[in-house]
């Protein structure tokens, strides 16, 4: 059991009133000689129980290590460290510990200041979470404790150095040193990071296999909530096989102050009246007011305290009779802006109420939090941009794949409308296509709520079309507004000319109703979309042209025999399923060879063209007119029975009989036509059967005198 020490009344009153756990310990044995009420409350032991205990009973660290720390403090080297202490209930608490010599008059002891360091524990947890987040980082990331021992290294560390992480944990980065290096530069590095700043530079190191390599490094200190450097974080990149990092990371921050005057925390003691009776050096430095001035001033009269909020804390603590803590901004007399963690504890000294102010400069931590938030926000923004780029790339790829399988222009425009809404949300957009004159464009596809400009306009009314390059308007106050846009337009827009092989296809126009920042990435994406649309439209038009060439008669423009056969192959199974009819007309211009021989082939071509136009004007939209060969034509009439087919054929015969023909200002007279009619399924179950039936009916019409209609 430890021997009770004698404390003078003033010292004991102060220690008993302090709301921070305080123990006084024999540095040689670790026996506890004194515990204040706060320590009893914190650990759950009575003062008498403490006197029968050794510090090793509440500290899980080895007694050898504990006594080493105590003896260092006893010899004048104040110690600070974090540890896990155990209370009487078995609860483990994360604490920060300050130790320093204490003169009790007849023997040298140690005074130990203990505070709950949960905030640092949370910071450590966040740091470990961050380590997990960077496991896949291509950069080497190493975290050391405050003594420079490696606590964490990501997988890239092993990839770069050849050491397994397990081999490196607990060791100093000096295992990588080559013995080379610029001492001055290394000294500047330590000077920088120990001053709380980030150091950046290069090192030359040696791998496990002996290879030399160079690294660029950025080394930053990590601070506890008390502003103490607890760790170092190094982010390193292997820049070449010859440039690598040397040196080691260590922490040698000393805490040279104990309780009151030697405490690293600023402490000021006031009477309740406001009179200052004690100021320690740390407090003088923090508040920026000389000690002699503070001792001769009443805190109730200090404007700097009222402006910072310290005055309000003091008054509230006095009125409530309880400890009050707060983080607040403080501007020193020299204009330096600080963040303080302030604790005001009222206590009784005799019959008089006193206040103990304890201040901690947390400016560095606050700045670190601000920088961390800024970095986090920037990272979130970067991730968001990556997601947007991925969404755009995916959308563009899907749009391209869909456009590639479109057979017609209308299908492609529907695809553009659908993807336009997905790729450019909150925008209005349209595709304008050029007319045949290549002087005007017309809107053919639109997405969004409402288009601000004109749906049809000339090239001269659009800067993008006139200059043949993308035109961006973020604000009409500083950018050129196109003529097709209203003068009162107050948003932003982009116009991209769609050109393929020198041909102006049209214009991609995207607008935002309100002012919108259109950055370079957005412009490039719009250009990619515009180029994809223009190329797709050009390809579809080319395919349609080739398709028409393969199924159209070049002279008359009607469908050819090949298309007729494809149509019958499609329509007969459909009619069979629906139990429907199909009418077939086979027509032949009477005496066409004689007409050709008399007036020439060019006049004959005119006759064929006018006959096809007249027939198209008589038949229905769904009926299909085909040139069967020479002067013979076939009309396919879906869902038409024999009666309807005969009526339609007779109408065509009459109209052609009344047709007056003229070529090169010369009258060609009139012509007649003979028509044979057949029907599916009455005249056959196959297309060839029905065609043969109509052909035989046509033959009878010719044999019967021509200019007539005969049914099969």
> Catalytic residue numbers?
631
Sign of CA pseudo-dihedral 278, 281, 285, 289? positive
Tell me the two tokens of residue 9.
Answer: 């009344």
Residue 236, CA atoms < 13 Å, CB-side half-sphere: 35
- Those residues with Cβ within 8 angstroms of residue 179's Cβ, 6 or more apart along the chain or in another chain: none
Residue with tokens 């440039």: 243
Q: What angle do CA 177, 182, 185 make, to 5 degrees?
A: 105
Residues written for the chain = 712
Which contacts of 394-399 are long-range, i.e. CB under 8 A and separated by 24 or more positions?
A: 395/419, 395/422, 395/423, 396/423, 396/525, 396/528, 396/529, 396/532, 399/423, 399/529, 399/532
Q: Are 62 and 89 in contact (CB under 8 A)?
A: no
The crossing angle, in degrees rounded to 10, of helices 687-703 and 561-578 is: 110
Distance CA 358, CA 237 (A): 43
- Those residues with Cβ within 8 angstroms of residue 473's Cβ, 6 or more apart along the chain or in another chain: 479, 480, 481, 482, 485, 492, 493, 494
Alpha helices in 487-582 (DSSP H): 520-551, 561-578
Helix (H, G, I), strand (E, B) or coil at 311: helix
Tell me the two tokens of residue 600.
Answer: 């020439």
In terms of phi and psi (left: phi > 0; alpha: psi -120 to 50; beta: otherwise), the region of 627 is beta
Distance CA 606, CA 657 (A): 16
Bridge partner residues of 525 (DSSP): none
Backbone φ, ψ for residue 243 (5° rounding): -110, 115
Query: Which strand ranges, in their side-by-side order, compose the sheet holding 21-25?
Result: 32-35, 21-25, 108-116, 92-103, 79-86
Bridge partner residues of 211 (DSSP): none
Q: SS in 3 state form for 204-262?
A: EEECCCCCEEEEEEEEEEEECCCCCEEEEEEEEEEEECCCCCCCCCCCCCCCCCCCHHH
Tell me the two tokens of residue 687.
Answer: 């297309």
Distance, C-alpha 375 to centroid of its chain: 14
Distance CA 324, CA 344 (A): 5
Distance, C-alpha 571 to centroid of its chain: 53
Which secondary structure element, helix H or strand E, spans residue 312, and what is its range? helix 310-320
Distance CA 587, CA 649 (A): 9
Tell me the two tokens of residue 417.
Answer: 């409308």
Distance CA 409, CA 390 (A): 28
């Amino acid at each position: 059991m430890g021997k009770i020490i004698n404390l003078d009344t003033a010292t004991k009153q102060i220690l008993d009133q302090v709301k921070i756990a305080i123990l006084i310990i024999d540095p040689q044995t670790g026996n506890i000689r004194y515990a204040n009420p706060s320590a009893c409350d914190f650990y759950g032991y009575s003062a008498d129980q403490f006197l029968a205990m050794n510090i090793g009973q509440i500290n899980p660290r080895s007694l050898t290590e504990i006594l080493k720390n105590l003896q260092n403090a006893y010899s004048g080297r104040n110690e600070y460290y974090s540890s896990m202490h155990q209370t009487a209930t078995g609860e483990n608490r994360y604490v920060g510990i300050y130790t320093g010599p204490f003169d009790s008059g007849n023997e040298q002891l140690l005074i130990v200041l203990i505070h709950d360091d949960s905030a640092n524990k949370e910071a450590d947890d966040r740091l470990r979470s961050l380590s997990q987040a960077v496991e896949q980082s291509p950069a080497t990331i190493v975290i050391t404790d405050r003594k420079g021992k490696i606590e964490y290294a990501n997988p890239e560390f092993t990839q770069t150095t050849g050491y397994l992480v397990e081999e490196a944990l607990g060791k100093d980065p000096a295992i990588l040193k080559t013995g080379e290096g610029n001492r001055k530069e290394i000294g500047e590095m330590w000077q920088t990071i120990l001053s709380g700043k980030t150091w950046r530079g290069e090192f030359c190191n040696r791998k496990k296999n002996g290879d030399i390599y160079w690294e660029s490094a950025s080394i930053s200190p990590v601070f506890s909530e008390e502003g103490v450097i607890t760790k170092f974080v190094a982010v390193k990149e292997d820049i070449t096989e010859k440039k690598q990092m040397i040196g080691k990371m260590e922490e040698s921050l000393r805490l040279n102050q104990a309780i009151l005057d030697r405490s690293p925390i600023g402490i000021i003691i006031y009477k309740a009246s406001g009179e200052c009776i004690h100021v320690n050096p740390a407090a003088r430095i923090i508040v920026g007011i000389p000690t002699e001035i503070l001792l001769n001033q009443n805190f109730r009269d200090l404007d700097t305290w009222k402006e910072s909020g310290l005055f309000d804390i003091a008054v509230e603590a006095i009125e409530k009779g309880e400890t009050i803590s707060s983080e607040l901004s403080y501007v020193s007399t020299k204009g330096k802006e600080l963040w303080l963690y302030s604790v005001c504890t009222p206590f009784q000294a005799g019959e008089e109420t006193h206040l103990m102010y304890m201040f901690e400069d947390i400016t560095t931590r606050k700045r670190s939090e601000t920088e961390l938030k800024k970095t986090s926000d920037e990272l979130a923004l970067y991730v968001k941009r990556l997601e947007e780029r991925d969404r755009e790339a995916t959308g563009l790829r899907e749009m391209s794949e869909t456009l590639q399988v479109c057979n017609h222009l209308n299908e492609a425009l529907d695809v553009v409308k659908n993807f336009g809404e997905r790729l450019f949300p909150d925008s209005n957009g349209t595709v304008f296509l050029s007319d045949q004159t290549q002087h005007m464009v017309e809107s053919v596809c639109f997405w969004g709520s409402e288009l601000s400009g004109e749906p049809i306009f000339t090239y001269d009314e659009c800067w993008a079309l006139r200059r043949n390059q993308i035109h961006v308007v973020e604000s009409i106050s500083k950018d050129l507004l196109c003529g097709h846009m209203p003068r009162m337009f107050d948003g932003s827009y982009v116009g991209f000319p769609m050109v393929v092989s020198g041909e102006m296809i049209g214009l991609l126009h995207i607008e935002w109703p309100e002012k919108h920042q259109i950055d370079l990435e957005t412009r490039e994406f719009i250009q990619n979309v515009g180029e994809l649309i223009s190329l797709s439209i050009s390809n579809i038009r080319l395919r349609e042209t080739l398709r028409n060439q393969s199924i159209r008669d070049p002279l008359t423009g009607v469908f050819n025999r090949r298309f007729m056969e494809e149509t019958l192959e499609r329509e007969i199974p459909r009619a069979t399923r629906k139990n429907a009819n199909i009418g077939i007309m086979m027509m032949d211009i009477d005496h066409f060879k004689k007409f050709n021989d008399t007036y020439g082939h060019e006049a004959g071509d005119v006759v064929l063209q006018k006959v096809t136009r007249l027939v198209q004007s008589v038949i229905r939209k769904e009926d299909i007119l085909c040139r069967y060969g020479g002067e013979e034509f076939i009309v396919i009439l879906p869902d038409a029975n024999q009666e309807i087919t005969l009526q339609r054929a007779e109408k065509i015969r009459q109209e052609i009989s009344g047709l007056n023909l003229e070529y090169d200002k010369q009258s060609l007279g009139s012509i007649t036509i003979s028509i044979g009619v057949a029907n599916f399924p009455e005249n056959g179950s196959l297309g060839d059967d029905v065609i043969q039936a109509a052909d035989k009916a046509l033959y009878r019409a010719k044999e019967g005198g021509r200019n007539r209609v005969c049914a099969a």
